Amino acid sequence: MRKILIFTLLVFSACLTSCLGDDDGTNFFFELVPIEEVDIPEEFVRNETYEVSVFYYRPSDCHSFSGFELETLDNQLTLAAVNVVFNDRECIDIEPTELIEEKLNFIVGSEESYIFNFWKGTNDQDEGEFITIEVPVVEEASTTD
């Protein structure tokens, strides 16, 4: 039984190594895309879940949404939209006319407020620029008559 297991592992390793040798390079990479607009509630109710809509322009037909990069520190959240860019073909730039919407589900915790910093690109000094929105947290949804 031991010899069969060792033989199987050797065959599997040989197959895996031969497959890895066929790769002539990475066909994709990840890229942050600037956030243009945000749709977020004016207030949160503690322990509720909210959809936050983020809008960006797709730079080319090789770009596709991959997810969000999120960094948190206390009640501050820094958020960026991430695209996977497939570079295995000629890409066609897309005119920035149609915003792409992606949604993030946000679960409200015990903070008094949350400060969102949505990455919107870099300035001439290569420093990040952000859309900053502070959302207060309340115990119950406010009612308006």
The count of domains in the chain is: 1
Q: Is the pTM of this model over 0.75?
A: yes
Please check whether residue 118 lies inside any domain of the structure: yes
Q: Which domain holds residue 110?
A: 25-138
Q: What is the CATH number of the domain that holds 100?
A: 2.60.40
Whole-Å CA distances, 42 to 55, 57, 111, 133, 138: 17, 24, 15, 9, 11
The encoded tokens of residue 8 equal 């199987």
pLDDT, tens digit (0-9, with 9 covering 90-100), for 30-52: 999 999 999 999 999 999 999 99
Q: Render pLDDT for 64-103 as a digit per residue (tens, 0 to 9).
A: 999 999 999 999 999 999 999 998 889 999 998 999 999 9
Q: Does residue 20 form part of some domain? A: no
Q: Which two tokens stand for residue 51?
A: 């959809």
How many C-beta atoms surround the C-beta of residue 121 within 10 A?
13
- Asked whether residue 14 is assigned to any structural domain, the reply reads no
